[in-house]
Amino acid sequence: MSQPAGPVSITEARELPGLRLVVIEAVPSPWTQAAKGILHIKGLPYTLVRRTKEDGAGALEGWTGQASFPAAMYEDEAPRTGWAEILLLAERLAPEPALIPADAEERALMFGIAHEIAGEMGLGWCCRLEMIAAGLQSDPPNPMSSYLGTKYGAFPETLPLAQGRIYEVLRVLTRRLNAQRADGHRYLMGAELSAVDIYWATFCNLLSPLPQEKMEMSDAIRSMFGNDDPVVAEILAGGLLTHRDFIYEEHLVLPVVL
C-alpha cells in the first residue's frame, strides 16, 4: 500500500504527470474518502491535490470542468468527477485487487447498491439534504447550508423524501449483510471485498462519524455530522456499524487524515 505524493496545489498539480486526486480538506466528505480508499486498496501511486490560496478563483473549475470534490485527473484524459467514473478509472489502472465483480449480474447489482449509497438521492445525498435543512433552520441560518442547498438539490420535492430514503438504503444494506453472513461471507457482495464495502464504511461517517482518535476534526465540523434519529441508531446497531469498523480496520487507513 503506497502513500500518495503531495499534497500539492491545483496550480502545481496541473504540471504533473500521472494520476492526481483533487480532494476536500478537513471535512469527512465520503466521496473524497471513498476515492482515497479505493486508490489505497489498489496501491495506485497518485498525487494528492488540495485547493490552496495560491490557486486563483476558478482554478478547480478551469481544470476539472466542475466545482465539487473529488476529481480524479489522469494524464491528459477527461476529468473523472463522479464516484462511478473514479472507480472505473481505478479498476482500469490497477485491475487487482478487483473492486468490481467480474460476473455481470453481480456487477449490475453492485453498481445499483453503490448508487443507492453515493449517487443522487442516495444515502449520502439524502444525509446532506437533512444536514442542509437543519442548517437553514438554525438561528442564524448556516450560510454553508444555503450554498450547498442551491448546489445539491434541496428542492421542496426532494427534502421530504430524504428520511425515508435513508431508512430504505440502511435496511437494504442490513439485509444483504445478514444474508451474506448467514452464507459464511464477510462482505456485502459475498466472499470478496468490493467497492460497496468501501462506500458503506466511508458514507457511514455522515450518520455516525468515527471517534476523534480515529478521525480528528474540528468541533464545528463534527457538530454537522452524525444523526440522532433513534430509528437510524437502531438500524446501524444491527450489524452495519460493526461492518464499518471491520472495513476500516482491515482495508482502509486509520487514523483517517482529513
Ligand X SMILES: N[C@@H](CCC(=O)N[C@@H](CS)C(=O)NCC(=O)O)C(=O)O
The residue ranges that bind ligand X (CB under 6 A) are: 24, 29, 31, 68-69, 81-83, 118, 151
* Nearest distance in Å: CB 254, ligand X: 22
Cα-flanking dihedrals φ and ψ of residue 118, to 5°? -110, -10
* Nearest distance in Å: CB 24, ligand X: 5
Count of all residues that appear for the chain in the document: 258
- What DSSP element (H or E) covers 19? strand 19-23
Residue 255: how many other CB atoms lie within 10 Å: 13
* Nearest distance in Å: CB 82, ligand X: 4
How far is C-alpha 124 from the chain's CA centre? Answer: 8
* Nearest distance in Å: CB 234, ligand X: 26
**Dist CA 204 CA 226 (whole Å):** 9
Q: Which is nearer to ligand X, 177 or 205 (CB)?
A: 205
What residue type is assigned to position 203 of the chain?
A: F
Q: Which is nearer to ligand X, 24 or 133 (CB)?
A: 24
- Positive or negative, the CA dihedral 25, 30, 33, 38 is negative
Q: Which is nearer to ligand X, 145 or 177 (CB)?
A: 145
* Nearest distance in Å: CB 6, ligand X: 18
Q: Which is nearer to ligand X, 121 or 172 (CB)?
A: 121
Q: Which is nearer to ligand X, 73 or 118 (CB)?
A: 118
* Nearest distance in Å: CB 182, ligand X: 32
Give the three cell numbers for residue 179. 444474508
* Nearest distance in Å: CB 181, ligand X: 29
Cα-flanking dihedrals φ and ψ of residue 72, to 5°? -100, 125
Pairing of strands 47-50, 19-23: parallel
Q: Which is nearer to ligand X, 29 or 142 (CB)?
A: 29
**Dist CA 109 CA 83 (whole Å):** 16
Q: Which is nearer to ligand X, 31 or 248 (CB)?
A: 31
**Dist CA 252 CA 241 (whole Å):** 15
Q: How far from 214 is each of 27, 45, 144, 199, 253, CA to CA, in Å? A: 14, 24, 26, 18, 9
